[in-house]
Structure 1
Amino acid sequence: MTRILPGVLAMAAVVVASNILVQFLFGQWLTWGAFTYPIAFLVTDVMNRVYGVASARRVVLAGFVVGVACSLIGTQIMGEFGPLVTLRIAVGSGLAFLTAQLMDVAIFDRLRAGSWWRAPLASTLVGSALDTAIFFTVAFSGALVFLEPGNDVSWANESLPLLGVGPVAPLWVSLAVADWLVKLALAIVALLPFRAIVRKLSPDLA
C-alpha cells in the first residue's frame, strides 16, 4: 500500500479539485473541472504502467470513495437552485468514474506490451468517452427523469444548435461534446508527462 500512496493522494487531489472547480463556468459549455478531471486518467495509467493492474485498481477505488464523499458533502450544500449535487449527478458521477477508470485499466493492461504511447492513449480515449457518455446521460437526459422526479432538468434539455453552430440537440449534448473534446485534447497532451513520470519512477519501463 505504501508504494501506491502517492497515486492514491494524487487521485484524491484530482477528484476533490474537480468537484470544487466544476462549480465554476469556463465559457459557455465548460467548467474549470473539465480541465482537472482528465488528470485522473494520467494517474491511473502511470500506476498501471509502473505497479501493475492490481495497484491501479486500488487507486481507482480510492478515488471512487473520495468522489462519493464529495458527492455526499455536495448534497448538503444549498446553492441558488437547490443542492449543489443532486441524486442524478451523484449517481452519474460515481458510475461514470468507476466504469471509465476500470475500463481504462483493462485496456491499458491489454496493450501494455506495445509502443509506450499506445496503451495510455487508447485506454484514455475509450475511458474518457465512456465517462462523458455515462455522466451526462445519467445526470441530465430527459429520458431518465424517473431517476429523480423532483429534479427539474428541463434546462439541460432545451433544444439548441450543437455547440452553438451544429444541428439542433439538447443542451446537455453540447455540454457532453465540449467535455469530451477537452478530454481528447488532454489525452494527447498527457502523453508527455506520462512518459516523463514513468521514466522517473521506473526507468527500465520507459
Structure 2
Amino acid sequence: MVVKKKAGSKAVGDRRNYRYYDLIMAAFVCVLLCSNLIGVSKVVTVAGFTFGGGNLFFPLSYLFGDILTEVYGYARSRRVVWAGFGAMIFASLMAWIVVTLPPAEGHAGQEALEQIFASTPRIVAASIFAYFIGEMTNSFILAKLKVRTEGRFLWLRTIGSTMGGEAIDSLLFYPLAFYGTWSNDLLLKVMLANYVIKVGWEVLATPLTYRIVSFLKKKEDEDYFDRDTNFTPFSLKV
C-alpha cells in the first residue's frame, strides 16, 4: 500500500535518498540534450505531415517531467528542470567554442561540424527560454491538478499538463527561433504539427506512464501532494 504524503509532512530541506530519482534525472537530461542537438532545425515530411525532426523525441522529456512531479513533487521536479537548463547552456557553449576554434591544417570536417552544431544564438536562446517556461508550466499544472483531483485521474493530469506546457513551448520557440527566416505558412504548419505530435506522444504513452508511476510510488514509498509548496521557479529548495 502506498502512503500518500502531503506537502509539509516532511521537514523543509529533507534530504531523503530515493532509489530512482537520479536515474530519471539523468534520462531526462539525456533526452533533452539529444532532442535539442540532433536535427532541431531540420524540417521533415512524412506521409504529408510536416514537422521538426528534432522534436520527434522531445516529448519524452515531458513524460519524465510528469513522472517526476507526480511521484516526487513539484520542488524536486523543478531541480531537474534546472539541471536540464544548465546542461543545455553548457552544451550550447561547448558547441560554439568547438565550432569557432580554427581547424588544423588538413582537417576536412569543419564544414560538416558547422552544419550540425553551429546553431545561431537566436535558435539557442529560443530553445532554452521556451524549454524552461514550458517545463515549469507543465510541472505547475500537474501539481495543482493532483491536489484538485485528490490524486485521481492521472491521465487527466499528465495529458492536461502536457497540453499546457507544450503549447507554451511551441508558441515561444518557433516564432522566436524562425520568424522571418521561414515563411509564415511553414512556421504555422510546423508549429501546429509539432504540438499535435507532442500531445499525441503523451496520450499514447499513458498506459506506460501509469505503470512507471505505480512502480515508483511503491518502490520509493512516495506519492507527493503539493499542498503547501512554494511554486516559484527560481529556487532549488525541496
Unaligned runs of at least 5 residues, structure 1: 143-152, 158-168
Contact 1:104–1:127 at 8 Å: present in 2 too?
A: yes
Look up the match of 1:165: none
- Indicate the structure with greater helix content: 1
Q: Please give the root-mean-square deviation of Cα atoms over the aligned residues, in Å.
A: 2.2
Q: Which residue of 1 aligns with 2:81?
A: 60
- Count of residues in Structure 1 that have an aligned counterpart in Structure 2: 181
Q: State the secondary structure of the residue aligned to 1:27.
A: strand
How far off is 1:58 after superposition?
0.5
In structure 1, what is the equivalent of residue 211 of structure 2?
196
- Contact 1:103 1:127 (8 Å CA) reproduced: yes
The answer on whether the counterparts of 2:43 and 2:51 sit within 8 Å (CA) in structure 1 is yes
| CA deviation string 1:3-58 (max 9, x = no partner) | 32112201111012212332555427334321211111111111111111110101
Return the match for 1:109 from 134, 143, 160: 143
Cα offsets for 1:83-135 (capped at 9, x unmatched): 63111101110110000000011100110124121111100111011111100
Check if 1:16 corresponds to 2:50. no
Q: Which residue of 2 aligns with 1:127?
A: 165
Q: Letter of the aligned partner of 2:133 in structure 1?
A: T
**Which residue does 2:176 correspond to in 1?**
138
The residue aligned with 2:63 is 42
Given the alignment of the two structures, is residue 27 of structure 1 paired with residue 61 of structure 2, yes or no? no
What code does the residue aligned with 2:212 have? I
Task: Report the counterpart of residue 174 of structure 1 in structure 2.
Answer: 189
- Aligned-residue offset at 1:65: 1.1
Identity %, equivalent residues: 25
Q: What TM-score do the two structures reach when normalised by structure 2?
A: 0.69
Match of 1:91 among 111, 125, 132: 125
Runs of 4+, deviation exceeding 6 Å? none
CA contact (8 A) 1:100 1:130 kept: yes
Of structures 1 and 2, the one scoring higher in RCO (CA 8 A, sep 6+) is 2
Gaps of 5+ in 2: 1-14, 100-112, 224-238
